[in-house]
Amino acid sequence: MDMNQYLEVFIEESKEHLQTASEQLLVLEKNPEDLSIVNEIFRSAHTLKGMSATMGYEDLANLTHKMENVLDAIRNCQIILTPEVFDVIFLAVDDLEAMVMSIAEGGDGKRNVSQVVHQLDVIEKGESPVTSSAAEVAATSAVLDREEMTDREYDEFEWTVLQQSNEQGFNSFEITIELRADCLLKAARVFMVFEVLEKSGEVIKSHPPVELLEEEQFDQQFTVTMITKESSEEIQKKIMKVSEVDNIVIHTLDLEGVRHAVNIKEDQIAELANKGIEAEHVMLPSDSTEKKKQQSVKPASSKTIRVNIERLDILMNLFEELVIDRGRLDQISNDLDNQELHETVERMSRITSDLQTIVLNMRMVPVETVFNRFPKMVRQLARDLNKKVELEITGAETELDRTVIDEIGDPLVHLLRNAMDHGIEAPEERLAKGKNEEGEIQLKAYHSGNHVFIEIDDDGAGINKERVLNKALSNGIITKETAATLTDKQIYELIFASGFSTAETISDVSGRGVGLDVVKNTIESLGGSVTIDSKEDEGSIFLIQLPLTLSIISVMLVAIQEEKYAIPLSSIIETAIVKKEDIMSAHNQQVIDFRGKVLPLLFLKDIFEVPASQEEEEFLSVVIVRKGEKLAGLVVDSFIGQLEVVLKSLGNYLTSAFAISGATILGDGQVALIIDCNTLIP
């Protein structure tokens, strides 16, 4: 069978399942007594196992299998959840992720996982991977569970049936059937086994329940209780005829024993509860099945299909063509002055603008796709750093353009690591400062106007201005003279300068030479900005401002002689008409007085070497733009108007175009260049 066509689906789905697994693990860590979460993880692991076995990735299947065993034991209360157990499971998920990534990159998905497998084995045996003190408790519950395995309890009704059939001379058997490990169609085998059994007698009970068996929600083995007139040997022979059955254990049910076992179990539960173990840990099988049922009723999430981003880009390009033609059609209909044509064109315009909204929305992705890997990362990092950190995420549903999403991950990782390494103090230090032992990092995303803001807010030590200044001085980033004039904000900004790192020792968390300047550059290359606010001993706030989408921006269209240029509205403060006499000259720089401030004028006509054809007018049209705190006035010939345009790159050939950040296509099909104010303002 050619697997290649399924590979993409496999990779995507595996990623999804791993994501669910790690998300749920984090939830579970907070609520260790909620065993329904274990089921959720178990299901993800199980599906993953099935898929990877089908695709022939054995290492992946094996590791998932081990993990599944441990999870199974957890939900059967065989294993008490300790942080160590979590560590190992997280490690296993990490390994699985690495394997899936390797497959996605065209590798074979092989990986040395012996250590994790060994640790999982150890846990599975009921021992704690690190501490042995917990092992004893685990062992008790293990014994308890094993009892549960051999003598399942029966409810009153089942017990009566068993008792009555016993009186009528039926045999009651408990049959444990083990399927072969490589069995692919387990549900089918289960069905065949049941068919065999139902011909010979009646099945009273199965463990796991039939619904789960049908959904392949079990390992290799399952147990059924049946009543029959036939002997155990006959039954065994019949079942063995079903292929892929590995092993069958049949034992006659001792009705007295069943009753007895139930009593013992109740005693033990009471005993364990006395030992201080929460009774919820020992969940009765019937309870857990109920929970499972509840889970499976959960409404299906909205249906989606995967579309290659390239196709969306093509769609977008075609759509822009359409918009340009619409513009032409509009013009023609105006010239012809035909009522019917008018109406049709009008209608088309409305439909195309609806279409535009949809096409643009298709490229929007919730930031969740980036945020969802952070909780695990923060947890791991907190353990590595021996710090206690709580990550709170809000606004994960905020949507951003796909291109921004793809780029924003790394800078955020860097800032989070930075907050944990340099921001949040060690627990002792926090207690000494009178703070909560557990540090808090808030990751917020929200819309505001045409921008999306992402805020990373920690309640750690804040930025020490003295240290930043000293460091900047010793690294030669600033001089002593400038240091004295800097405002607090400007000092904080220094940590974004290249070649700056305040960590006194280089830890492998942050401060590996790749500084925050990379973060700043990446964000700026996305058309965004990042600012810092900080209070010593109270924490720092990193605020990232990002454009909603990279492909559509609001611009002001201006004319310079015969040429048209677009200036992004995001950098425009306002426009002004200035009299020629008001221009003053200072150090070869023409300036005007703008609300009491000296505003340098930049004549775009000269800067862009526009061929002159018109006479200069008495009044100048000035667009006042800013870069950070600095302002400048761009002198143009006239303002045309404000419009939304599709941002296009100039391509690889003209990378060095001066002060031009891109281009756009106007309604008449012509290209207008977009001015990059950041390079214009020195």
Partner 1 sequence: MSQEMKVIVFKIKDKEYAIPVDKVSGIEKLLHITRVPKAAHFVKGVINLRGVITPIIDLRVRFGFEEVEYDDSTRIIIVILDGMEVGLIVDSANDVLDIPLNSIEPQPEVVGQLASEYISGVAKIEKRLLVLINLENALNLEVSENMLKEG
Interacting residue ranges for partner 1, rule: CB under 8 A: 317-318, 320-321, 324, 563, 607-610, 648-654, 656-660, 663, 665, 669-673
Compute the least distance from the CB of residue 601 to partner 1, in Å: 18
**Residue 420 gets which letter from DSSP?**
I
Compute the least distance from the CB of residue 352 to partner 1, in Å: 15
| Angle of CA points 385, 83, 378, to nearest 5° | 40
Q: Which is nearer to partner 1, 469 or 566 (CB)?
A: 566
Q: Which is nearer to partner 1, 33 or 668 (CB)?
A: 668
Q: Which is nearer to partner 1, 147 or 325 (CB)?
A: 325
Compute the least distance from the CB of residue 647 to partner 1, in Å: 10
Structure tokens at 513: 């030479």
Place of tokens 């220094």: 494
For 551, the 3-state DSSP assignment is coil
Compute the least distance from the CB of residue 651 to partner 1, in Å: 6
Strand 539-547 with 451-458, pairing: antiparallel
Query: What is the rounded CA–CA span in Å between residue 593 and residue 110?
Result: 69
Q: Which is nearer to partner 1, 50 or 667 (CB)?
A: 667
Q: Which is nearer to partner 1, 264 or 660 (CB)?
A: 660
Choice among 46, 207, 281, 422 that is catalytic = 46
Q: Which is nearer to partner 1, 446 or 658 (CB)?
A: 658
Angle between helices 255-274 and 156-167 (to 10 degrees): 150
Annotated catalytic residue 587? no
Q: Which is nearer to partner 1, 491 or 681 (CB)?
A: 681
Compute the least distance from the CB of residue 28 to partner 1, in Å: 48
The answer to whether 442 touches 457, Cβ cutoff 8 Å, is yes
For 9, the 3-state DSSP assignment is helix
Peptide bond into 208 cis (omega under 30): yes
The b/e string for 465-504 (b: 16+ C-beta within 10 A; e otherwise) is eeebbebbeeeebbeeeebeebeeeebbbbbbbeebbbee
Choice among 23, 68, 148, 320 that is catalytic = 68
The answer to whether 244 touches 179, Cβ cutoff 8 Å, is yes
Place of tokens 């463990």: 207
Q: Which is nearer to partner 1, 236 or 678 (CB)?
A: 678
Query: What is the rounded CA–CA span in Å between residue 65 and residue 85?
Result: 16
Amino acid at 27: V
Annotated catalytic residue 118? no
Q: Which is nearer to partner 1, 224 or 663 (CB)?
A: 663
Compute the least distance from the CB of residue 563 to partner 1, in Å: 7
Choice among 399, 418, 422, 425 that is catalytic = 418
Amino acid at 567: I
Compute the least distance from the CB of residue 658 to partner 1, in Å: 4
Beta bridge partners of 559: 564, 638
Beta bridge partners of 622: 576, 635
- Which stretch of DSSP H or E encloses residue 134? helix 133-150
Structure tokens at 463: 């930025």
Got the DSSP string for 428-455? Answer: HHHHHTT--SSEEEEEEEEEETTEEEEE
Annotated catalytic residue 46? yes
The answer to whether 96 touches 63, Cβ cutoff 8 Å, is yes
Q: 152, 139, 151, 155: which is closest to 77 by C-alpha?
A: 139
Query: What is the rounded CA–CA span in Å between residue 337 and residue 97?
Result: 63
Compute the least distance from the CB of residue 365 to partner 1, in Å: 23
Compute the least distance from the CB of residue 309 to partner 1, in Å: 17
| Catalytically annotated residues | 46, 68, 418
